[in-house]
C-alpha cells in the first residue's frame, strides 16, 4: 500500500502533470497558428473580379489596385478583330472571387500586327490567287485588268500603290490589288529600256507600255532585299516591238558595273550585225 501511495504522490503525479501541461501548450500553439493562418490568408475576405477583357493592362492595374489585387501577364496571342495590346482573356474568369493580394493572370493581344509572307501568285489564275491569299490571311481589294499574253492570270500585285513581290512580308488582314491579264492585244508596243533600274521601276515602265515583266533572274539569289538589285540585261532588247501584254525577261545584279559591261557588249554586237 505504501508503494502504491508513493507512486501516485511522486512519479505518477509528476508524469500526469507534465502530460497535461504539454497538451495545454499544444492546444494553445495550435490556436495561435490557426489565428496566424487566418490573418495571413485573409480568411473570410474575398474580392469579386470584374470583367477586364478589352482593357489595356495599365487600365486593369488601376482597377485591381483598389481591390488589393495586381495583374500578371502570362501570354500573348494575336487576334485580328481585337485592339492591339488589350486583354483577351483573364484567369480567374470574371465574377470569380479571390482573396486580396493575389495576382490576376492575363493573356493579351499582341502589340503589333502579325506579318505574313506573300505567296507566289504571279502567273496563276485569279481564282486560285484569291484562295491562296485568303489561306494566309490576306484579301483582294480590287482587280485591274491589263493586256496580257495569257487571259485571267495574275501579272502583278500592288499594295498601297506599290508593286510587291512573292516573299514580301505584309500585315495580316491587308487587302491587295491584283493586276490580271485580259488577253493579248492586237497593237504592237515599243519595248522600253529597263537597264540600270530596279525591278519595281521596271514593272511600272513595262506596265505603262502595256507590257509585263516575264522571267526574272538574279546572278546571285537575293536574301530578302531585292531593292539593291538592278537590271543589267533584258530580252527583248529596248526599242523592239511586242504585242500588248507581251513579256520582257530581265536579269538583275547588285554589281552596277555589270550594266556598263553588258551595254558595251550589246553595242558591239549591234555594230557587228550592222557591219555584216
Q: Which residue has the cell 483577351?
A: 88
pLDDT at 63: 92
32-64 pLDDT tens trace: 766 665 555 555 567 888 999 999 999 999 999
**Distance of alpha carbon 132 from alpha carbon 227, whole angstroms:** 25
All residues at 6 or more sequence positions from 173 whose CB lies less than 8 Å from its CB, including other chains: 80, 113, 137, 138, 139
Q: Is the pLDDT of residue 267 over 70?
A: no
CB 253 within 8 A of CB 216: no
Instruction: Dump strand ranges (E) for 97-229.
Output: 97-98, 103-109, 115-117, 139-146, 154-159, 162-164, 169-171, 175-181, 188-190, 212-218
End-to-end CA distance of the chain: 151
70 beta partners:
103
63-116 pLDDT tens trace: 999 888 999 999 988 887 888 899 999 999 999 888 888 999 999 998 888 889
Pairing of strands 247-253, 212-218: parallel
**Distance of alpha carbon 101 from alpha carbon 46, whole angstroms:** 10
**Distance of alpha carbon 179 from alpha carbon 64, whole angstroms:** 53
CB 258 within 8 A of CB 212: no
226-258 pLDDT tens trace: 778 889 989 988 888 888 778 899 999 888 777
CB 106 within 8 A of CB 87: yes
How would residue 176 be classed by pLDDT, with cut points 50, 70 and 90?
A: very high
Domains and CATH numbers, the chain: 47-109 (3.30.10.20), 113-183 (3.30.10.20), 189-276 (3.30.10.20)
Q: Is 119 exposed, middle or buried (0-12, 13-18, 19+ CB in 10 A)?
A: middle
Distance from chain centroid for Cα 77: 10
pLDDT at 69: 92
158 beta partners:
163, 177
Amino acid at each position: 500500500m505504501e508503494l502504491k501511495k508513493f507512486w501516485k504522490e511522486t512519479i505518477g503525479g509528476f508524469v500526469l502533470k507534465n502530460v497535461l501541461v504539454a497538451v495545454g501548450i499544444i492546444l494553445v500553439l495550435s490556436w495561435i497558428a490557426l489565428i496566424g493562418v487566418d490573418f495571413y490568408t485573409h480568411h473570410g475576405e474575398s474580392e469579386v473580379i470584374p470583367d477586364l477583357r478589352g482593357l489595356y493592362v495599365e487600365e486593369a492595374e488601376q482597377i485591381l489596385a483598389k481591390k488589393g489585387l495586381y495583374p500578371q501577364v502570362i501570354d500573348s496571342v494575336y487576334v485580328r478583330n481585337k485592339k492591339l495590346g488589350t486583354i483577351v482573356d483573364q484567369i480567374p474568369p470574371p465574377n470569380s472571387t479571390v482573396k486580396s493580394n493575389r495576382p490576376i493572370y492575363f493573356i493579351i493581344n499582341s502589340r503589333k500586327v502579325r506579318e505574313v509572307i506573300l505567296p507566289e501568285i504571279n502567273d496563276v489564275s485569279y481564282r486560285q490567287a484569291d484562295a491562296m491569299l485568303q489561306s494566309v490571311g490576306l484579301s483582294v481589294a480590287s482587280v485591274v485588268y491589263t493586256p496580257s499574253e495569257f487571259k485571267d492570270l495574275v501579272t502583278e500585285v500592288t499594295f498601297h500603290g506599290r508593286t510587291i513581290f512573292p516573299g514580301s512580308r505584309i500585315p495580316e488582314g491587308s487587302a491587295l490589288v491584283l493586276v490580271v491579264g485580259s488577253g493579248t492585244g492586237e497593237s504592237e508596243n515599243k519595248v522600253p529600256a529597263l537597264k540600270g533600274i530596279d525591278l519595281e521601276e521596271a514593272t511600272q515602265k513595262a506596265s505603262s507600255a502595256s507590257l509585263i515583266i516575264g522571267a526574272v533572274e538574279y546572278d546571285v539569289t537575293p536574301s530578302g532585299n531585292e531593292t539593291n538589285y538592278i537590271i543589267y540585261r533584258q530580252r527583248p532588247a529596248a526599242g523592239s516591238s511586242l504585242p500588248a501584254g507581251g513579256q520582257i525577261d530581265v536579269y538583275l545584279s547588285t554589281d552596277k558595273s555589270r550594266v556598263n559591261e553588258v551595254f558595251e557588249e550589246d553595242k558591239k554586237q549591234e555594230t557587228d550585225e550592222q557591219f555584216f
